[in-house]
């Protein structure tokens, strides 16, 4: 396993982070525990969850993923061996069953209270805001429209998180599904008011979705904010199984076809070209896709998710794949011809 340091901390985290959003829906508790055991044996010490999980989000299943992690922690006694990351759900139509109070001080306290109970721990190593409270460009929306109803509350949010850090209930903070303006606002607010600095930003990043490079990559490198790259395989599209027609009936996009962000015509065409590059260079598309993300200089850790153990093993093995400059040039040539086909 390769390790890096969580930015602005002395916490060592594995270059691969174990994602968990299928546990409690597509995966049982026993399967989640099996993945955790195997990942830990392979040197992975970084686990990511959220109060919203599993996905798709429902009131019935909300928080079930974190409960699975909590029962594993209690059973195994491995709390001191892992770095736990979780998130408070932002406001939205599909989170109203959790709360409707956004990132107010009471909402942050309640969210941490409940998540600590589910995880059966006294503290969370990295606590993240799952997406902006204001209405802005996220999840593939290109055209920005001003959210005139939103009131700037960056300082209030950081004050609330600072209180939780001082109470010892969380150690560090991060953001997710955020853009460059929001990231810089958090950084400037922390700088000028002696408030906690964000360590990470968890955004989608893959060969099909490289919009992070347009502005956030510079922010990440200059301001020392590490990307936790989620969906590095684009919901499995970059495994090649949908292209080849080998996806099982319980594959995510067959079970949940509304998650079509990476399944459009342009994205599928680009994925086919990437598959050709992988096969020409005697590797699987999955391992090339993950190796590409692993090697980016602004990525602190790549979040992988798997429903089957064989997928998990292949994903972790991607750390042993090193893409040459020649292969990276081939990938960039496709990107140049078809930039961000799944934004």
- For residue 184, give Cα distances in angstroms to 144, 170, 197, 217, 241: 17, 22, 11, 12, 38
* Number of Cβ atoms within 10 Å of the Cβ of 227: 25
One of 3, 38, 53, 127 is an active-site residue; which one? Answer: 53
Question: Is 123 assigned a catalytic role?
Answer: no
Q: What residue spans of the chain are helical by DSSP H?
A: 29-41, 64-76, 105-119, 154-166, 180-193, 216-223, 241-244, 252-255, 265-280, 285-294, 309-317, 325-337
The helix-helix angle for 309-317 and 29-41 (nearest 10°) equals: 30
Burial class (CB in 10 A: 0-12, 13-18, 19+), 113: exposed
SS3 category, 59: coil
Helix (H, G, I), strand (E, B) or coil at 302: strand
If you write DSSP's letter for every residue of 157-210 in order, what string do you get? HHHHHHHHHHTTSEEEEEEES--HHHHHHHHHHHHHHT-PPEEEEEEE-BTTB-
DSSP 66-77: HHHHHHHHHHH-
Distance (Å, whole) CA 179 – CA 67: 30
Own/partner long-range contacts of 106-115 (Cβ < 8 Å, ≥24 apart): 108/157, 108/160, 108/161, 108/164, 109/160, 109/164, 111/51, 112/88, 112/164, 112/169, 112/170, 114/51, 114/63, 115/51, 115/63, 115/66, 115/86
Catalytic residue annotation: 53
């Amino acid at each position: 396993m390769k390790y890096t340091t969580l930015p602005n901390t002395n916490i060592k985290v594995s270059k691969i982070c174990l994602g968990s959003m299928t546990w409690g829906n597509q995966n049982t508790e026993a399967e989640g525990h099996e993945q955790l055991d195997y990942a830990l044996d392979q040197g992975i010490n970084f686990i990511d969850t959220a109060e919203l999980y599993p996905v798709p989000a429902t009131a019935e299943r909300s928080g079930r993923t974190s409960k699975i992690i909590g029962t594993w922690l209690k059973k195994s006694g491995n709390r001191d061996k892992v770095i736990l990351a979780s998130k408070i759900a932002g406001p939205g139509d599909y989170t109203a069953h959790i709360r409707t109070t956004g990132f107010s001080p009471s909402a942050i306290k309640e969210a941490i209270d409940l998540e600590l109970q589910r995880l059966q721990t006294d503290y969370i190593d990295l606590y993240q805001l799952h997406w902006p409270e204001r209405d802005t460009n996220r999840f593939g929306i290109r055209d920005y429209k001003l959210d005139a109803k939103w009131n700037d509350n960056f300082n209030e949010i950081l004050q609330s998180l600072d209180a939780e850090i001082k109470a010892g209930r969380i150690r560090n903070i991060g953001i997710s599904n955020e853009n460059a303006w929001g990231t810089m606002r958090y950084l400037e607010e922390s700088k000028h008011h002696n408030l906690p600095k964000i360590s990470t930003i968890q955004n989608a990043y893959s060969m099909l979705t490289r919009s992070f490079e347009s502005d956030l990559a510079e922010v990440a490198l200059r301001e020392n904010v590490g990307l936790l790259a989620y969906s590095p395989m684009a919901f499995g599209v970059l495994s090649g199984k949908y292209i080849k027609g080998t996806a099982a009936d319980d594959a995510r996009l067959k079970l949940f076809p509304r998650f079509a962000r990476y399944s459009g015509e342009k994205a599928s065409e680009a994925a086919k070209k990437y598959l050709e590059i992988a096969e020409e260079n005697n590797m699987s598309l999955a391992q090339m896709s993950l190796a590409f993300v692993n090697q980016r200089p602004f990525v602190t850790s790549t979040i992988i998710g798997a429903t089957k153990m064989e997928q998990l093993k292949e994903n972790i093995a991607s750390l042993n794949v090193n893409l040459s400059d020649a292969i990276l040039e081939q990938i960039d040539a496709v990107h140049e011809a078809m930039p961000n086909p799944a934004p």
